[in-house]
Amino acid sequence: MTSPVFIAIDTPDLSRAQRLAAAVRPHAGGIKLGLEFFVANGPGGVRGLACEGLPIFLDLKLHDIPNTVGKAVAALAPLRPAVLTVHAAGGEAMLAAARAAAPEDTKVVAVTVLTSLDDGDLADIGVCDAADVQVRRLADLSRRAGCDGIVCSGAEVAGARAAWPDGYFVVPGVRPAGSDTGDQKRVMTPAQALAAGASMLVVGRPVTAAESPAEAARAIAASL
């Protein structure tokens, strides 16, 4: 079975990214490249990692007016990422524009409530519902817009999947028991998140900051 674990290769350094990808390759289903990597290395950097042979999740969390997001997705299409992120808060028309511009075999998934936010942080930005209610609201919106799935924490995935059984659920904020949570506030262990219904687990620092990233990735795969 293909591993559901994607390793977030969050570094601006292309050589380090290539070394990390090669180290985790036997134990991962794919790699995730996000803003830190993309701002430093651009599409050429993504192509440089594609040669590792792992599926690529391009996590750029696009969030702008529909025309701009649609054109940005069209510009990214030649990279043919397996998965691409947009922000659900951009609204239904923006989400639909992203889906329409993406290659058919690229999953477009919408970030609902960042795993670094708790209910107090949501209140600060004017969202007075709890995270699970907001995730459900944005999951419904993303589904209506034609997205393939959402990004949410492990705490919301069971509820979201119950309402969207064939959705694709990406779960970051994943921490092996006892590891440092850092800036993540809604966390679960890999096994818990998978049991709750995640399609993909995203793990970054617990692997990339480990003394042996290969061993850390192997241990996570073995825990599932």
Ligand X SMILES: O=C(O)c1cc(=O)[nH]c(=O)n1[C@@H]1O[C@H](COP(=O)(O)O)[C@@H](O)[C@H]1O
Nearest to 29 by CA among 147, 202, 187, 223: 202
- The residue with tokens 């924490």 is 153
Least Cα distance to 132 among 159, 92, 102 occurs for 159
**Rounded Cα distance, 135 and 67, in Å:** 25
Contacts of 76 (CB under 8 A, 6+ apart): 43, 58, 60, 84
Instruction: Report the residue from 66, 90, 149, 172 that binds ligand X according to the rule CB under 6 A.
Output: 172
The pair of three-digit structure tokens given for residue 215, joined into one six-digit string: 């061993």
Contacting ligand X (CB under 6 A), which of 45, 173, 197, 213? Answer: 173
Mark 96-125 with x for binding to ligand X (rule: CB under 6 A) and - for no binding: ---------------x--xx----------
Site string for ligand X, 4-23 (x = CB under 6 A): ----x-x-------------
How far apart, in whole angstroms, are the C-alpha atoms of residue 31 and residue 6?
A: 5
Q: Which of 28, 45, 59, 197 binds ligand X (CB under 6 A)?
A: 59
Interaction between residue 41 and ligand X (CB under 6 A): no
- Residue whose tokens read 């440092």: 180
> Which residues are annotated binding-site positions?
10, 32, 59-68, 115, 175, 184, 204-205
Kindly list the residues in this chain that would bind ligand X in the complex (CB under 6 A). 8, 10, 34, 59, 61, 85, 111, 114-115, 151, 172-173, 182, 184, 202-205
